[in-house]
């Protein structure tokens, strides 16, 4: 049977035990999973005010630059997914092009990075849900209790399968997007104190160190989009669905972030917005803006929706982590039990292990009486952000190597130039984030060094494992980056 015939053949929705559920996701489901991981309301209400405080009217430009860079990256990445069909995301693609040793380093780095991002976000969930409960009901719940409730809720929904999770994420995503769109329209209709101006295109404002710092915040708002390829085995018509979902996700997020951040600047005027945020605080800025342009009902709605926004991001990362665990277990790197699935295709044991890990780490921060935002979120989340950027950089290099070695494979003429440009851009992005790490963490030099060391250590653990397996378990070594295809 030819490849085209295989793609045209109907896929059974009945999963096999030990297999992910084929045909469970269409373009919309994958977009919801990916965009939910980005948590748009959280990015706009929680992070964008900091970006505006740092870069002022040029803050929207950072989101445009980040989005454009990721579109360029996606061109090569999506071209490679048509030829490398195994489940495993970055781990699989890097293994195929850069070798099994580098590939396993990438696999362990991916597992550590996505776990760090998810566990850190439990701190954010605790903060926003605590604020919501205090505002709505006047009750003060310890942040640790709220984090543990979130962990249980994420595990439960992940247990019931990817298609159930996608439907829930879709509802939550529509709700948070709608409130932001309503707020954006209100600002556009009423205007700000200085009318509408376009400092985001002013070279004197754009080409500054401040925009370089904000670029790290902007890139963080897109993380998770690359998981489209990770759902390949569960997608309907993956050669069409995966690229389409990827471009829709990046395009939507780029336009959405840039326009909303620009409107937030206009709401208070380009000359006064930074002073306003400095006076009222980063966390209050979006809610004060909503109260002014829509009324108090919007503030209350946003308080509730930001809780669901963070929860949606947690669930999306949980699904991503489970599929990396599944891929590594399938290849014999992690215990085989992690590759087991329920009848609904859910890798339930991988999900349970990830949940226990979250409980242990969050519990440690609770016992240490740490701050859920400054310590759990910032310190744990940051190495995850840096790690995913390194993975994107390695994947971009992998695209170049893959198509140079396989010159006869079908591809568009612009794929290789796009991969080269993406590699250069991602290198610049990574350097800017590392150089400006103090602006992201607010921690001291020693703490920042410890935070950054996590990334190379995780990668080296995978490299060393691969070297050991090559000598002692050659059969396992040969399976690195292999496994199930969508065929």
**pTM exceeds 0.75, yes or no:** yes
Which residue is associated with the tokens 């401040």?
A: 210
What average pLDDT does range 35-50 have in this prediction? 82
187: buried, middle or exposed (CB in 10 Å: 19+, 13-18, 0-12)?
buried
d(CA 260, CA 188) in angstroms, rounded, equals 10
Residue 447's region, left for phi above 0, alpha for psi from -120 to 50, else beta, is alpha
What digits encode the pLDDT tens for the residues 2-12?
A: 333 433 434 44
Torsion of CA 51, 147, 317, 172, to 10 degrees: -80
d(CA 171, CA 36) in angstroms, rounded, equals 10
Q: Domain spans of the chain?
A: 23-404+415-479
Supply the DSSP symbol for 174. Answer: H
Q: In the prediction, which pLDDT does 15 show?
A: 41
Q: In the prediction, which pLDDT does 46 show?
A: 81
What digits encode the pLDDT tens for the residues 287-335?
A: 999 999 999 999 999 999 999 888 888 888 888 898 889 889 988 999 9
Q: In the prediction, which pLDDT does 31 show?
A: 80
Q: In the prediction, which pLDDT does 35 show?
A: 78
Residue 139 CB neighbour total at 10 angstroms? 8
Of 85, 69, 94, 79, give the one whose Cα is nearest residue 7: 85
Which residue is associated with the tokens 């996606």?
A: 74
Contact 25, 235 (CB under 8 A): yes
| Radius of gyration of the chain measured on its C-alpha atoms | 22
- Asked if pLDDT for residue 265 goes beyond 90, the answer is yes
Contact 452, 56 (CB under 8 A): no
d(CA 44, CA 55) in angstroms, rounded, equals 15
Q: In the prediction, which pLDDT does 16 show?
A: 44
Which residue is associated with the tokens 């404002």?
A: 205
Of 111, 129, 215, give the one whose Cα is nearest residue 435: 215
Q: Which fold has domain 23-404+415-479?
A: Amino acid/polyamine transporter I (1.20.1740)
Quote the Cα angle for 481-485-487, to 5°.
160
Handedness of CA 206, 211, 212, 217 (dihedral sign): negative
For 233, residues 6+ apart whose C-beta sits below 8 A from its C-beta are 19, 20, 22, 87, 484, 485, 486
Residues in the chain: 487
d(CA 158, CA 166) in angstroms, rounded, equals 10
What average pLDDT does range 403-425 have in this prediction? 92
């Amino acid at each position: 049977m030819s490849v085209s015939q295989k793609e045209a053949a109907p896929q059974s929705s009945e999963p096999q035990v030990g297999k992910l559920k084929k045909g469970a996701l269409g373009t919309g489901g994958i977009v919801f999973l990916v965009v939910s991981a980005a948590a748009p309301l959280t990015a706009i209400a929680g992070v964008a005010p900091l970006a505006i405080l740092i870069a002022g009217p040029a803050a929207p430009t950072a989101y445009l630059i980040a989005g454009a860079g990721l579109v360029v990256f996606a061109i090569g990445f999506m071209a490679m997914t048509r030829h490398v069909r195994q489940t495993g995301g970055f781990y699989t693609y890097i293994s195929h092009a850069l070798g099994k040793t580098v590939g396993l380093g990438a696999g362990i780095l991916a597992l550590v990075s996505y776990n760090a991002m998810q566990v850190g976000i439990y701190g954010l969930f605790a903060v926003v849900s605590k604020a919501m409960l205090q505002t709505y009901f006047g009750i003060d719940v310890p942040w640790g209790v709220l984090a543990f409730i979130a962990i249980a809720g994420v595990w439960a929904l992940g247990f019931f399968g990817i298609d159930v999770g996608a439907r829930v994420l879709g509802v939550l995503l529509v709700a948070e997007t709608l409130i932001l769109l309503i707020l954006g329209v209100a600002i556009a209709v009423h205007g700000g104190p200085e009318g509408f101006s376009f400092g985001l295109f002013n070279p004197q404002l754009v080409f500054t160190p401040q925009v370089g710092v904000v670029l790290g915040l902007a890139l963080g708002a897109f993380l998770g989009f690359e998981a489209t390829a990770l759902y390949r085995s569960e997608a309907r018509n993956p050669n069409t669905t995966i690229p389409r979902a990827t471009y829709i996700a990046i395009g939507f997020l780029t336009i959405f972030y840039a326009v909303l951040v620009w409107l937030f600047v206009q709401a208070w005027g380009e000359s006064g917005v930074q002073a306003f945020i400095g006076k009222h605080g980063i966390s209050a800025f979006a809610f004060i803006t909503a109260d002014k342009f829509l009324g108090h009902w919007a503030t209350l709605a946003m308080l509730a929706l930001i809780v669901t926004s963070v929860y949606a991001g947690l669930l999306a990362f949980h699904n991503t982590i489970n599929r990396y665990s599944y891929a590594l277990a399938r290849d014999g790197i992690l215990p085989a039990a992690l590759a087991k699935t329920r009848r609904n295709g859910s890798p339930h044991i991988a999900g349970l292990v990830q949940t226990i890990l979250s409980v242990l780490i969050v519990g440690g921060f609770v016992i240490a009486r740490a701050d859920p935002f400054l310590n759990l979120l910032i310190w744990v989340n940051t190495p995850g952000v840096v790690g995913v950027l390194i993975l994107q950089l390695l994947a971009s290099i992998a695209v170049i190597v893959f198509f140079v070695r396989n010159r006869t494979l079908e591809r568009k003429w612009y794929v290789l130039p796009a991969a080269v440009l993406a590699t250069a851009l991602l290198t610049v992005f990574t350097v800017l984030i590392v150089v400006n790490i103090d602006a992201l963490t607010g921690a001291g030099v020693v703490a920042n060094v410890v935070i950054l060391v996590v990334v190379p250590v995780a990668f080296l653990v995978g490299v060393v494992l691969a070297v050991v397996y090559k000598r002692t378990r050659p059969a396992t070594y040969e399976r690195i980056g292999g496994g199930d295809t969508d065929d």
